[in-house]
Amino acid sequence: MGLFSIFGVFFLSYDYTDPVKLNHALPRPTALEVSSLGRLPPELISAILRYLDPEEAISFTLSCRPFYFMLRQRTLFRSHKLSSRNRGKFLTLLEKDLPNHVACTYCYKFHAIATASRHLPSNRQRKSQGPSLPCWQFDESTRIDTLICCQASSTIFSMLMKTHRQGHDTSYLLGLLRSPVITIERKRYAEQIDASFRIVNNSLLFREQRRFIASWDHSIWFFDLKDKALSICPHQVYPSFQGLCQRNNIHDMRTTYSFVPNNQKLRPWGIIPCQRCHTEFRVDFDYWSDRRAVAVYITRWVDLGGFDVSNDHRFKDYLYMDGQGINSGDRHSINLSEKGSICEAFENVPYEEWDFDSIVTDLDRKKLMLASWSR
């Protein structure tokens, strides 16, 4: 039973793919024949296990057939006693030899990259048969689809970054995460959400821009809106737009009314970074003279990390309120990014020069205007 639960790679009940893709037919190396380990007596080989961690001992046992038959009684047949943490480490060790799979430390098994689409939140809801996977439960408990975007999946993030590190095309996986621009009609104003991902310097970056437009007659009501909570990250959640501006020393909105018509684009506040995760945002205002309306742009950039090493905490820093990961064993000091660096990496221009409406297409602008007119 222990073997079955540990070596999920051999029993891919959820993510089984074509065996040919696992490259089982590749010639096996004969490293033991040329290694000094091959000249050691069995007693010394067995003694080596005392100096290895449990997951390393199992990997050592599986390294070649002689070691397997010699050591399996001491390692493999006791594998059911491994702690969850050691099981996760063992899967990570095996993952290096499985280019088409990622190790899931929540399910304690491997997920095939070819089955990435089934991990989308929209596809999970359609699969009524079978229990929910532990990694899906993790995404739901941390509200990734709300904190990041509706298509976000920690499993697909890992698949995407592993594919990138191997130098393969990532357009398919990036396409899974991409969601269309969403336009929403609200009472007295309209809202638009535009989200996208990009890989820069072996790190997964996320950008979201939320656009709000209210007619000049309703703009005061909009800025004082109390039931419109705004979330930048788990550490920056504001009960209203006015609260966001007051907390970040953005001047009172009523003074903006006299400025906006004369200076259509106001950007005096620049980038505002979070002090507890790798997130930064900025607030911009625009006056649409053809609509006699005030438009507000809230753009945020998030560095989610590389999803490759255990000491890369950027993803967990973003998800958790205390910035310390899942438990006390994950506590670490947070090295925050330089102000504006995430924006510059994503946009590939100095953050002072980036224009907030440069990513708004004519079609998106038209949809937003139509939504505001239909109220």
Burial per residue of 283-304, b for 16 or more beta-carbon CB atoms within 10 angstroms, e otherwise: bbbbbbeebebbbbbbbbbbbb
Residue-wise DSSP of 68-120: HHHHTTTTGGGGGG--HHHHHHHHHHHHTT-TTEEEETTTTEEEEGGGGGGGS
Tokens of 68: 């397997």
- Which amino acid, one-letter code, is at 352? E
Question: For each of the chain's 375 residues, which pLDDT tens digit applies?
Answer: 344 344 444 333 344 444 434 454 555 556 677 778 878 888 888 888 888 888 788 888 888 888 888 888 877 766 666 777 777 778 888 888 889 999 998 888 899 999 999 999 888 765 555 678 999 999 999 999 889 998 999 999 999 999 999 999 999 999 999 989 999 888 778 889 999 999 999 999 999 999 988 876 655 555 555 556 788 999 888 877 777 777 766 654 444 444 444 444 545 467 888 888 999 998 888 877 776 778 888 999 999 999 876 567 889 888 876 544 443 334 455 667 788 999 999 999 998 889 988 999 999 988 988 887 765
Rg of the chain taking only CA atoms, in angstroms: 26
Q: Tell me which H or E stretch contains 57.
A: helix 54-61
By the 10 Å C-beta count (0-12 exposed, 13-18 middle, 19+ buried), 192 is classed as buried
